Amino acid sequence: MLDARFRGLMWSHRSVKEGDLHQINSIRKDGLRVPTIFHAFSNQSRGCETVWFEIKDNYNAIEKQRRASAIDAETTLKFLSGLRSNDYEMFWKHSLDGEKRLQNLFWHDGTSHYNCSVFGDVWGLMQRTV
């Protein structure tokens, strides 16, 4: 029988739990690299053998999240299509990058059209760089 502290080394038991993944993402936003993050986890749990995943599991979980972001672009465009059914002045134009992620998005709805007619040329710019 395998000692409980070594079960994380078995392939079938290795996984990055959701809470750990949130912690990994927040640490990555601070600029730390994945190996450094793994060493932080191993220091917290008093040794590499007690961490329930390996460094490559971190990379796999991060890649899985990155691939899921392409779905977010589709969801955004479907949301805009739904808004069009309620607002006949809804308009948008978008472009995707090579990995089918939103690169640029311009949208204009009835409220924007009304504001422009009352106040003149009014632009609201929101830029997010990922």
Cβ within 8 Å of residue 57, ≥6 positions away: 14, 15, 16
CA distances from 34 to 37, 40, 74 (A): 5, 10, 29
- Asked if residue 47 has pLDDT above 60, the reply is yes
Distance CA 27, CA 59 (A): 14
The mean-pLDDT minimum among 34-43, 53-62, 67-76, 86-95 falls in 67-76
Q: What are the pLDDT digits (tens) for 49-80? A: 667 777 788 888 888 887 776 677 888 888 88
Q: What is the 3-state secondary structure (H, E, C) of 21-89?
A: HHHHHHHHHCCCCHHHHHHHHHHHCCCHHHCCCCHHHHHHHHHHHHHHHHHHHHHHHHHHHHHHHHCCC
Candidates 40, 48, 57, 55; CA nearest to 5 is 48
Distance CA 8, CA 74 (A): 36
Q: What is the mean pLDDT of residues 74-99?
A: 87
- Asked if residue 29 has pLDDT above 80, the reply is yes
- Domain borders along the chain are 4-69, 73-120
- Asked if residue 13 has pLDDT above 70, the reply is no
* pTM (2 d.p.): 0.44
